[in-house]
Structure 1
Amino acid sequence: MSKSIPRIEAPAPVVSVSPVVLSAPGRGADLEVRVSAPVTGSGLPIIVFAHGHGSSSDGYLPLAHYWAARGFVVIQPTFLDSRTYSLGPEDPRSPLIWRFRVEDVTRVLDHLDVIEASVPGLAGRVDHSRIAAAGHSFGAQTTAMLLGARIRGPDGRLGEDLADPRLKVGVLLCAGGRGGDALSPLAREHFPYLNQVYAEMTTPTLVVAGDQDHSPLTVRGPEWFTDAYTLSPGPKSLLTLFGAEHMLGGISGNRVTETTDENPARVSAVQRLTWAYLHEAFYPGERAWAVACEELMASPTPLGRVESKTPPP
């Protein structure tokens, strides 16, 4: 397949199709996804994006559209915890909602041909060997599991390794940190699947955290959201955004009520830096990530800072 490398500062028009429906036996409902792609270019890499709790494939368009306009095919599943399903705590699927999420992403990866064929003009323009995964909040946990993180069970043993080798790189936005004594009583009682361990998450990943992200799920404060970086082996990078709360300025959409720190400049930084990280992962010769980091730090009032680590010798 021939590859035309997209220019860094030349966003293309985007086509978006929703819902694309995938059969999902045993799930209780078929899986619906949104697919967004540039109308030009070939050899396009893929981003599978996992939304936060309660959202859907209609959310996070500031990220999805930005990425698609700059050379990615963006696939957004709607998970069972979405408000569109109104799944109650009494539903037998609720205790394993985290596992259904992981299975949904795996189902997407298993049916890329079907998804590609659903978008007019996209067939033959997608590179199925270059796949990234990204997610926010609960979606970041979903993504982390597929990148190599694991859940520690009540007996202290690590759960199943659900890492998917088809994913070459990841972005974790506001990913919950380690479990155990870092969890609040609320989290230990109601969300036992937050007992995550990052020691085996070896896939290259950008972790994004806000230094004002105070969560009722942890007793550690905003630092908890950096654990996916500090407790996992390299290669990893950490983008810490100054003044950012859990929605990072409004990445789920403009004027969304759940955003408590609305800040268009912060959203713009998340857009550019996440795209640059993924772009450089697949087009290393263009130095998109290096350039974006230089621009961030060159500002007289930087919106954040970046640090990186490589694997231990």
Structure 2
Amino acid sequence: MFRRRALALVTTAVLTATAAGCSTEDPPAAPTEAAPPPTSAAAPTPQVSPTTAPTRSHAVGVRRLDLSRGEDRPLPTTVWYPARGERGGEPERGAPVARGRFPVVVFSHGLGGRSDDYSGLVSRWAEAGFVVAAPTFPRTSSDGDGNVLDVLNQPADVSYVLDEVLALDDTDGDPLRGRLDTGRVAAAGHSAGGVTTIGLFTTRRDDRLDAGVVFAGTAIGFGTAFAGSAAPQLFVHGELDDVVKYTAGKAVYDKVPWPKAMLSLPEGDHGRRLLSNDATLGVVSGTTVEFLRWSLYGDPAARERMTDGATRDGLATFDDQL
């Protein structure tokens, strides 16, 4: 997870390396090409054509991909996926893949974390009919050297992982062959992973992405020049976050030019009470599942459930601009 001193460290490192300043208005030091301007705000519909969303929950399978983007960038990736069998149990390693074609979500962990730290959240996405690929980054994970500046390299890591995962849909003998809906893709991430995710929609735009989910993220290092085709965004932030301040996340959210929503948890902190507490995890996972069903399956009923579930039990407020 993104530890207490991490934000200050990231800020210092990015300021030193890019002279970008701490404003969320400006992108980092110029990339090789200027980012294209964002398109105008989209109509209040998802950007994918509707398809049949799952009508029941799935069991969950899990596997590991030993990926590497060069000798010094190992990216071991955990994949959770809808599986055959009885739902409700722990993810089963190597379980047979369920029938159907499933959208793909790539998830980025926080500083000092690992992909498996988020199993409680992403396994719920897999239950709902999504394949979730979560790399463990080489330098910002619990096994890395803590070089926070390496966050700036992580959008390229995510795009590489996405290349490799989507290719499995056409790989002879792979269990996911014919099971991936490669035209329906989202990115999500927590804290430093939220920074990474913002980068994927700004100066390091990956045009394959149809939607994004940002948990406790800010725009340090990448700015708010959202680029490319409109992609709905969901921001999730605890109002008691003392690592990435709520106002910092809200400032980025306000700059998103596309359909968007923000789930705010008045008692939520940066990690434990945002993603681990049973009550808030229920609201967070439920809202994100419905957002992904709406934005990747084009499920209109999910749109209504999202709004209703977000404010359940008074644990959160929901700014809905979708």
TM-score (norm 2): 0.72
Matched with 1:200 is: 226
Q: Tell whether the 8 Å contact from 1:41 to 1:71 is kept in structure 2 after alignment.
A: no
Residue in structure 2 matching 1:278, options 292, 296, 304: 292
Give the percent of matched residue pairs that are identical in Structure 1 and Structure 2: 29
Letter matched to residue 61 of structure 1:
S
1:222 aligns with 2:246: yes
The aligned residue for residue 24 of structure 2 is none
CA root-mean-square deviation: 2.3
- The alpha-carbon distance between structure 1 residues 95 and 276, as it changes in their structure 2 partners (threshold 3 A), is closer
Aligned counterpart, 1:61: 119
Distance between the aligned counterparts of 1:86 and 1:118, measured in 2?
Answer: 34
Rounded Cα–Cα distance in structure 1 between residues aligned with 2:223 and 2:173:
37
Counterparts of 2:263 and 2:148 in 1: how far apart (Å)? 32
Counterpart contact for 2:211–2:296, Cα < 8 Å: no
Please tell me whether the aligned partners of residues 198 and 228 of structure 1 are also in contact (alpha carbons under 8 angstroms): yes
Choose between structure 1 and 2 for higher RCO, CA contacts under 8 A separated by at least 6 residues.
Answer: 2
- Give the secondary structure class of the aligned counterpart of 1:209: strand
Q: CA deviation at 1:270?
A: 0.6
Q: What amino acid is aligned across from residue 127 of structure 2 in structure 1?
A: A
Q: Which residue of structure 2 lines up, in the alignment, with residue 21 of structure 1?
A: 66
CA distance in structure 1 between the aligned counterparts of 2:274 and 2:263, rounded to whole angstroms: 16
In structure 2, the CA distance between the partners of 1:29 and 1:292, relative to structure 1 (3 Å rule), is closer
2:306 is aligned with 1:292 = yes
Three-state SS of the structure 2 residue aligned to 1:60 is: helix
Deviations 1:146-181 (A, max 9, x none): 012xxxxxxxxxxxx21011001000000125xxxx
1:124 matched residue in structure 2: 178
**8 Å Cα contact 1:169/1:205 also seen in 2:** yes
Q: Is the 8 A contact 1:80 1:100 kept in 2?
A: no
1:188: which partner in 2? Answer: none
Q: How many residues align?
A: 255
In structure 2, runs of 5+ residues without a counterpart are 1-50, 84-97
Q: Please list, as runs of the form range in 1=range in 2, the aligned pairs for 1:58-207 lying within 5 A after superposition.
A: 58-87=116-145, 94=147, 96-115=149-168, 121-148=175-202, 161-176=203-218, 194-200=220-226, 202-207=230-235
Query: CA separation of 1:234/1:22 partners in 2, compared to 1, >3 Å: closer, same or farther?
Result: same
Q: Label 1:290 to 1:228 Cα distance change in 2 as closer, same or farther (>3 A).
A: farther
Query: Is the 1:4–1:43 Cα contact (8 Å) retained in structure 2?
Result: no
The alignment status of 1:51 with 2:109, answered yes or no, reads yes
